Amino acid sequence: MSLLKSFTKSLLFVFILTLWFQSKTFADGGFPVRPGRLLISPSVSYFFASSRWDSTGVKKSFPNSGKYTSVGVTLYGEYGISRRFAAIVSLPYVYNDFTQNVAPKNYSSSGLADLETGIRYYLANIDFIYYFSLQGTAITPMYTNNTALGYGEEGGELKLAFSGSGHLGDLSTYFNAADGVRQYFGTNGPIQNRYNATYGLSLDEEFMNQVSLTVSGINSWSNDKSFNSAVPGTNKDFNFLQASLSYGHSFTHEISVFLSGGQFLTGRNTGVGTTVSLAFIYRLDYR
């Protein structure tokens, strides 16, 4: 298999490594997308938490035996405009539910969340093995009068990514590291640093099966220090660190499926979350 094809399959795997927190999809990668290629990824994710870390990082159960779940369906797309530029779009639909053993026993919300649209610029490469990219993203809320689905504020993000490939014995490997700074423009922000690092390897020479480990997290700062167990997606001052394992299988060069599971390891003002996600990748070439 050509080096370009191996890079493309590695990129497909990176796309769903961070399907977590608030059912949002983040696609981070320095590997370039071929001009004229459209990548479409519908995905579904499940988030569950029955305990939280307080403002000092101490783990506690939710009051009144509370439990929080969130199910998200996200449509992600990326199109290679040229050798240097790619267009990105992500639109999630979420259902959030918090239950407890006292009245009111249930808080729920559902609907379209924040639309993310962006442009990725491929800065440079080293011997076509290591790649650097810079991405600018606009955040637009797709809801009104329902702040349980998010902050209800427009925002922007600037993200830098570094990716590369190599070998571990007879197996092909790849890595990806990304860090982005996000600012919401409403009252009390917040401003966030979102990061992830991935190491993956193929299990066969045809790149039909892959596994990977990802470490990711968010540090969010705001003057608003409040914490709401029923709608944790609206909390502004928090942080967490998560580890995820993923497995991917390619049925053809055009169709792949990926399964990922993750666990929050540490945090502050956030739920102790467990996540599971399933994503499909479709590739279409128009040139």
Over residues 40-93, the pLDDT tens digits come to: 999 999 999 999 999 999 999 998 999 999 999 999 999 999 999 999 999 999
Tell me: the pLDDT tens digits for 148-197? 888 999 999 999 999 999 998 888 999 999 999 999 998 888 999 999 99
Report whether 78 contacts 33 (CB < 8 A).
yes
Cis check: omega of the bond before 232, within 30 degrees of 0: no
Per DSSP bridges, beta strands 130-141 and 155-168 are antiparallel
Give buried/exposed letters for 90-112 (b at 16+ CB in 10 A, else e): bbbbbebebbbeeeeeebebbbe
CA–CA distance, 234 with 138 (Å, rounded to integer): 19
Tell me: the pLDDT tens digits for 91-123? 999 999 999 999 888 889 999 999 999 999 999
Which whole-number Å values give the CA distances from 236 to 56, 66, 93, 221, in the listed order?
15, 20, 21, 7
Number of domains in the chain: 1
Q: Which residue has the higher pLDDT, 44 or 29?
A: 44
CATH number at residue 34: 2.40.128.130
The pTM of the full predicted model, rounded to 2 decimals, is: 0.86
C-alpha torsion angle, residues 59, 65, 66, 71 (rounded to 10):
90
| Structural domain for 65, as ranges | 3-285
